A and B are shown apart, each in its own frame.
Chain A
Amino acid sequence: KQEVTQIPAALSVPEGENLVLNCSFTDSAIYNLQWFRQDPGKGLTSLLLIQSSQREQTSGRLNASLDKSSGRSTLYIAASQPGDSATYLCALTGGNEKLTFGTGTRLTIIP
């Protein structure tokens, strides 16, 4: 059974700093991995999608990497802003074709 872990559960960073969020998974047989953002009480906003054959994806200040052999993905946020404060979720589509989510990292950017 696929298990997705995100550590730490919460992170506080001063504004302007670069930061990395981590996601690890136990089964490397995946189709893709998505990073989502969720604001309190709201739905999920897709940030980046990395297909199994890709190593990374970039969108603006965000860069996501995928290393299937080690079962890890990272989300790099450059020059953090208070508006980046949210919970970040990673989720992957595995061999069972279902999306399995991690529990998320709650990010707070301190002005």
Chain B
Amino acid sequence: DTGVSQNPRHKITKRGQNVTFRCDPISEHNRLYWYRQTLGQGPEFLTYFQNEAQLEKSRLLSDRFSAERPKGSFSTLEIQRTEQGDSAMYLCASTATGVDYEQYFGPGTRLTVT
């Protein structure tokens, strides 16, 4: 078990560009979560998947944001037409329902929009 991994760890992009982040959860974890954390704040929920189904999306997830988990394993989070307000740490977490209620977090992807 290698833990939750996220790539890239850092991303600098210009306003208006599209970016995509990847999360690889712990194998056999059926739930995968995305959170966003801005400086000095706690993480805020964005969306989560159970297997390949996206079960809930936060109002924070504007139309510019889209997430997928096509085969129920890794997930991608895409932000289109990035804005400076999108600058944040994007955290991914996974868990196995019915086994444990702990969410295991990845190291995060830090996005800077210039």
Q: Do A and B come from one complex?
A: no
